[in-house]
Chain A
């Protein structure tokens, strides 16, 4: 159990366009999902916490108007990169929080490689 999917797995877009990435928890419900960004050979940088039915909480330095997060259901969160530019090219990873045996554990999606030309 605890499978998280992301779609698409990779996307190439032109500068100025918007890209939507979906994160789904396939076999459990997640009231909280997280969005991370990872640069080559680096650790994960938390961008925002997505809570079902409420506004996302963004980390310091992350532009909320650029990275729109919607958590419309207990199994789906979306990240939309608006007006993408080459510097937004990165590996975006989501995770879903599950409470098992009284312990919070995050389960990660396979990631989405975004390339902005």
Chain B
């Protein structure tokens, strides 16, 4: 079945450092890919998404490119801030048409990012 694998954390960086969180996926259909962020004690917020190969999603300085050839959707940010400290989840959703599309998200295990001043 479909699955998502993220790099294990925690990832600890100094402020203004470059961030990469790796995410790879396996899917039989044509998934859309998502990054969600969860701040302590809160629900998930959609950070960015990409719906087809070579699409780049971007938001708040974060970006990720849908790479079909490497089945990856790595999250990057050029200069992290303390306020970026959170748990980041990579996810995929089958977007095929028809009754088989349940709309379910398949999540990776989450990667904790800690940014120190």
Contacts and interface: CB of A to CB of B under 8 A. Distances in A.
Nearest to A112: B43
A109 B43 contact: yes
15 contacts: A34-B103, A34-B105, A42-B109, A49-B102, A49-B104, A93-B44, A97-B103, A103-B49, A103-B51, A104-B95, A104-B101, A105-B49, A108-B43, A110-B43, A113-B41
Interface in B25-53: 32, 34, 36, 41-46, 49, 51
Interface residues of A, number: 24
Most chain B CB atoms below 10 A, which of A32, A106, A110? A106
Contacts of A32: 103
B43 A43 contact: no
A49 B109 CA distance: 20
A105 B104 contact: no
Given A34-B104, A49-B104, A103-B49, A111 B43 contact: yes
A97 B53 CA distance: 23
B32 A106 contact: no
A43 B110 contact: yes
Interface string A1-36: 010101000000000000000000000000010100
Contacts of B107: 43-44
Interface in A86-117: 93, 95, 97, 103-111, 113
Interface in B55-102: 89, 93, 95, 101-102
